[in-house]
Amino acid sequence: GLGNAYWARRELDEARDCTERALAIREHEIQPKNYSDIASCLGNLGNILHDQGDAEQALGYAQQAVDLLTIHGKNDLRLA
């Protein structure tokens, strides 16, 4: 998505903003929830935060992504 495009260009503030907005949409507005997409957003936020030098918060997002996929990934054919 757009956040990844900004991330690739090293425009990290813009990447974070777009990815946070994408996460909010995926978590609250799209039904049924697509946990794979939510986990992807969480992982992307972790990568962006890591590149911004915030390793602790990056790890938190990465862990959320792993936890979400551990719980819901077995029901997602794309991850089987």
Which pLDDT belongs to residue 54? 97
Per-residue pLDDT tens digits for 46-56: 999 999 999 99
Residue 18 counted as domain residue: yes
Spell out a b/e string for 55-75, using b for 16 or more CB atoms within 10 Å of the CB, else e.
eeebeebbebbeebbeebeee
Residue 80 counted as domain residue: no
- Structure tokens of 30? 């799209």
Residue 69 counted as domain residue: yes
Strands (E), 1-80: none
- CATH number of domain containing 56: 1.25.40.10
Number of structural domains the chain divides into: 1
Domain range holding 8?
A: 2-75
Per-residue pLDDT tens digits for 5-56: 999 999 999 999 999 999 999 999 888 888 889 999 999 999 999 999 999 9
CB 2 within 8 A of CB 35: no
Cα distance between residue 39 and residue 9, in whole Å: 22
